[in-house]
Amino acid sequence: MLLRDIWKSYTLSGVAVSVLKGVNMTAYRGEVVGIHGPSGSGKTTLLKIIAGLERPDKGEVIVDGYNLNMLDEYGLALYRNNVCSYIPQDFGIVDAMTTYENVEIPLLLAGVSAEVRRRKVVEMLDYVGLRDKASMRVGRLSGGEKQRVAIARALVTTPSVLLADEPTASLDWTNAIKVAELFLNIKKDFGTTVIIVTHDARLLEYVDRSMNLFDGSLKQISSPKL
């Protein structure tokens, strides 16, 4: 995954505020990258741009040979459902639906047959350890379990890139470590590139490479372990 000179500003009450000021980054296949930055530094904005949910004012995002500037809204929807999964900070899962139904959503959107859907959803629920909660409404699950539902749903389409926005923000430290370890397993088992943004510097001990988002650009704070 390649980010080349990404710029983004927002206009608030007529005043333009630059959030990203020339972000460059390469993430290798099967690497877990942690991006640390304080609240308001532009972490969510950056992930949304990589996910194709927001357009940069300038710059290029290239993932798996797709240059997002070349994709229209329909192309971006396919990209999000097949190539690059984004897990929002609030998980983005549907509380009124069951664990199973939440994980099935991307496969329904992709037009996958009922039989293959069933096999893949069960496989994912086993993988994240939620098979026994398959028929429970996710509104009743704990924070750690909700995060795992969100991860299973993001992973069920076997994307090349998985983006996680503050995945441990609402978890205690024991559950936070479990989630970090799950991302490392995902990279090993599926070859997924995982990008985690966090304001919790402790999480950086668990990633292959860490970067700092500061004053609108990214600085590497550790070399790749690969």
Ligand X SMILES: Nc1ncnc2c1ncn2[C@@H]1O[C@H](COP(=O)(O)OP(=O)(O)O)[C@@H](O)[C@H]1O
Told to check if 44 binds Mg ion by CB under 5 A, we report yes
Minimum Å gap between C-beta 39 and Mg ion is 7
Q: What are the angstrom distances between the C-alpha of 218 and each of 6, 19, 128, 226?
A: 10, 12, 31, 20
Two tokens, residue 43: 């972490």
Least distance from C-beta 48 to Mg ion, angstroms? 9
Binding-residue total with Mg ion (CB under 5 A) = 2
Name which of residues 105 to 164 contact Mg ion (CB under 5 A).
Answer: none
Q: Tokens 């990279």 correspond to what residue?
A: 187
CB of 40 to ligand X, least distance (A): 4
In angstroms, the CA 101 to CA 176 distance is 25
Give 98 or 168: the residue with its C-beta nearer to ligand X: 168
Report whether 165 contacts 171 (CB < 8 A): no
- Tell me the residue type at 130: L
Which C-beta is closer to Mg ion: that of 34 or that of 124?
A: 34
Q: What is the DSSP string of 194-212?
A: EEEEES-GGGGGGSSEEEE
Is 128 or 197 the residue whose CB approaches ligand X more closely?
Answer: 197
| Residue 112 or 197 with smaller CB distance to ligand X | 197
Residues at the contact surface with Mg ion, assessed by CB under 5 A = 43-44
